[in-house]
């Protein structure tokens, strides 16, 4: 591909775009973070323009999406499938490739549930307008859902030898698991401190990913946005139990 890839995502949050950024960074792919850039054909306006399904071929439903030459690919897990295939961040054989994608889709389910801890009624209302409901949903999430998801990933890692999710080699799902751990620690610091010891293999993947040279460089750069209370992982102390 002669032109750099174009990543389209909301400019002020990590959000779902971050799972894509981590993969692009680890793969050392040149990309423009379009909505965060300034100039002709850049910025949030350029992103909105591509989402007009009446006028654009293969228009995405929502960010993030990636333009790679002639390909316009949307939905986080689908973008990672594409990057995984082209940059060896997934096994080449069908059995392994589908397994990694299944793991990623399970991570995507977890991401929806994390978001809904602070927005159980609607993304169209402020958190402040759904606080009692958020409290209930977050309580259930901490008690029931975190153990279910993290217990599953912990078992998968152990079953595959105890290093990365699928064995000795890093895949895009490991990069996403890193982001899940970082985000859960940001959103639920007290709770995560209490339970981290139950998920030592997951925590080890977090540390292994953070220490990879390209990821370490990225995390220290200003390309990595900080977590904040506009994104998916938000720290509201009243939701931390």
Residues lying near its own copies in the complex (CB under 8 A): 52-62, 70-75, 77-78, 81-82, 94-95, 98-99, 101-102, 105-106, 108-109, 112, 116, 120-122, 124-125, 133, 136-137, 140, 144, 149, 152, 155-156, 158-159
Shortest distance in whole angstroms from residue 220 CB to its own copies: 32
Q: Which is nearer to its own copies, 42 or 147 (CB)?
A: 147
Distance CA 178, CA 233 (A): 13
Q: What count of Cα atoms within 13 Å lies in the side-chain half-sphere of residue 80?
A: 32
Tell me the two tokens of residue 138.
């977050």
Nearest distance in Å: CB 213, its own copies: 30
Nearer to its own copies by Cβ, of 158 and 190: the residue is: 158
User: Which residue, 42 or 105, is less far from its own copies as judged by CB?
Assistant: 105
Report the 3 state secondary structure along 71-86: EEEECHHHHHHHHHHH
- Complex with its own copies: residue 166 or 225, whichever CB lies closer: 166
Query: In whole angstroms, what is the distance from residue 90 CA to residue 85 CA?
Result: 6
Report, in Å, the least distance between residue 38 CB and its own copies.
28
Q: How far is CA 62 from CA 9, 51, 66, 72, 168, in A?
A: 9, 7, 11, 12, 34
For the bound state, the minimum distance from the C-beta of residue 68 to its own copies, rounded and expressed in Å, comes to: 10
Q: Report the residue number, 105 or 208, with the smaller CB distance to its own copies.
A: 105
CB of 52 to its own copies, least distance (A): 8
Query: Measuring CA to CA, how many Å separate 92 from each of 75, 84, 164, 171?
Result: 21, 9, 17, 11
């Amino acid at each position: 591909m002669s032109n750099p890839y174009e990543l389209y995502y909301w400019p002020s949050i990590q959000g779902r775009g971050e799972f894509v950024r981590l993969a692009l960074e680890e793969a050392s792919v040149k990309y423009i973070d379009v909505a965060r850039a300034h100039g002709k054909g850049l910025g949030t306006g350029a992103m909105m323009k591509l989402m007009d399904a009446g006028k654009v071929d293969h228009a995405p439903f929502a960010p993030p999406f990636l333009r790679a030459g002639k390909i316009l690919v949307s939905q986080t897990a689908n973008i990672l499938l594409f990057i995984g295939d082209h940059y060896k961040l997934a096994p080449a054989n069908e059995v392994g490739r589908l397994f990694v994608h299944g793991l990623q889709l399970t991570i995507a389910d977890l991401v929806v549930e994390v978001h809904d801890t602070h927005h159980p009624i609607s993304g169209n209302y402020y958190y402040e307008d759904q606080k009692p409901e958020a409290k209930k949903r977050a309580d259930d999430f901490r008690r029931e859902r975190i153990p279910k998801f993290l217990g599953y990933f912990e078992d998968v890692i152990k079953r595959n030898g105890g290093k990365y999710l699928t064995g000795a080699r890093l895949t895009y799902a490991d990069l996403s698991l890193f982001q899940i751990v970082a985000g859960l620690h940001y959103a639920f610091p007290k709770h995560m401190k209490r339970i981290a010891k139950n998920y030592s293999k997951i925590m080890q993947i977090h540390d292994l990913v953070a220490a990879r040279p390209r990821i370490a460089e990225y995390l220290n750069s200003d390309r990595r946005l900080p977590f904040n209370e506009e994104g998916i992982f938000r720290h509201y102390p009243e939701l931390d139990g």
